[in-house]
Chains A and B, each alone.
Chain A
C-alpha cells in the first residue's frame, strides 16, 4: 500500500519534472526566435475558432443559470439592486476564465495529446527528428503560443456572453430593473477584476497546452497508449487548472 503510494508519488514527480522541463525548453526556444508563424496561425484557428461554439454556448448558459440562482435569492432578501454587480464580479473573476479553461482543457488538451501521441507511436516524431526538425519547435511551440493567446480571447467573449446571459434572465425573467443591473455592475466591479480573470486564462492556456504536449510526447505503446495519454492529459490539465486557479485568485483578488 505504502509502496504503491510511493510509486505513484515518484511517477507524479517524474511527470511533473518532464513537463516543467518541456515548459522551460519551449520558453527558451520561443525567446531564441525559432517560431514558425504559419504553424502558429494554423493552431490558433484550430484551438480558437473551432472552440468558439462550445465556449460561447457554455458561457451563456452558465451565466443564465447563475443569474436564476442568485437573482431569486437576492430578490427575496431585498438586495435586487446588487445582482448586476455580484454577477459581474463572479463572471469576470471566476466563471468566465475557469469555464473557458475547463472547456479548452477537455476539448483541446485531448486533441493535442491524441495527435502528438499518435505521431509518437507511429514513429512520426522520430521521422521529424530524422529530417532535422526539432519536434518542440515544430509541434509544441505553435500549440503553446496559440493556446496561450486564444484562451484570453475566448475568455473575453465568455465574459460578455456570461454577463449578458445573466442580464437577460435577471431582467426579463426575474424582472430586475435593467438600469439597476448595469449600474451596480459599474459600481461594484473594478477593472482589475476583468484583467485578473484574463490574466488567469493566459496562465491556464500555458498549463493546458504544455501538459497536453508533454503527455503526447511521452506516449508509449500503440493505440492503448494514445488513449491513456489523451485521458490523462484532460485529467491532469483540469486538476492543475483548478489548483492554480485557487492560488491565483487568492493572490490577485484579495
Chain B
C-alpha cells in the first residue's frame, strides 16, 4: 500500500532523513517512534507530498507520488486522512465546517448527508454537540480530537496520525486508541502513528519502527520491541518515550 524507498530529506544542510525504507501493507498500523526533532513529522509530510524529498521515492497504491499530476495528487490525498501535530484546524471556521470541509469540497454530498457524517464523527471522538463552537474556544486536546474527526470525515483508506494522543488525559487517550484499533479492525484502514506516547504505541501498533539519526531501527511487533536488545530502543522504552 505504501512503499518508501531510500528516502532522504535535508533542510539546508541539516540531514533529517538519511535513507529510510519501509513497506507498509494494507491494513497495517505502523508506529514510528523517536526523540523530538528526529524527523517523524517530516516523514508524514513527505508521504502527503507537502514537502519534496531530497532523494528517494514514495509509492502509494503503486503510484510514485513524485510523478503525479496535480489532479492525480489530489486523488491520492483524498484517500489519506492526516491528523496534524498542531491540529491545524481552520480557525475562521466552526468545528462543523472544519469536519465538513473535505466532503463539501468533493461536491457530491447533500448538506443533510454531510450533517449526519459530522455528527457521527464528532461522537466518535467524544465531542458530541460541539458543531457550532469555534476552534479557538476549544482546549488543545479538544482541537486534536476535532482534527481526528476532520481526517476521518471522508473515510480515508490511509490515516496518518501525528501525535494523536499527546496532551490528552488517559481516559480520552484510551478512547482515541480504541478508535484507531476499531478503524484498523473493521475497515482495514492502513495507519501510520507517529508519537512519543508509549501507551498508545503498545495498545495500537502492529509493528514498531524507531527513527534514530535519520535511519530506521526495526523494532518488530510490540512484544518484540519490548524484548529488543538494541540499546537505542531499550533506552527509549525504559525512559518512557522521552529521550
Contacts and interface: CB of A to CB of B under 8 A. Distances in A.
B152 to A, nearest CB: 12
Contacts of B106: 132
A122 B102 contact: no
Contacts of B88: 122-124, 126-127
Q: Is the interface of A mostly helix, strand, loop or mixed?
A: helix
B115 interface: no
A58 B92 CA distance: 30
Contacts of A118: 91
A127 B90 contact: yes
B77 interface: yes
B48 A134 contact: no
B10 to A, nearest CB: 17
A134 B90 contact: no
Given A124-B91, A127-B84, A132 B78 contact: yes
A127 B85 CA distance: 11
Nearest to B76: A132
Interface residues of B, number: 22
Nearest to B98: A127
Interface in B96-151: 101-102, 105-106, 150
A130 B91 CA distance: 16
Output the residue of B80, B88, B90 with the most chain A CB within 10 A: B88
Contact of A130 (B50, B70, B75, B89): B50
A126 B84 contact: yes
A122 B150 CA distance: 16
Interface string B41-84: 00001001010000000000000000000100011011010101
Output the residue of A118, A126, A134 with the most chain B CB within 10 A: A126
Nearest to B44: A130
B86 interface: yes
Contacts of B45: 126
Interface of B: 45, 48, 50, 70, 74-75, 77-78, 80, 82, 84, 86, 88-92, 101-102, 105-106, 150
13 contacts: A115-B92, A122-B86, A123-B86, A124-B88, A124-B90, A124-B91, A126-B48, A127-B84, A129-B77, A130-B82, A131-B77, A131-B78, A132-B102
Interface of A: 115, 118-119, 122-124, 126-127, 129-134
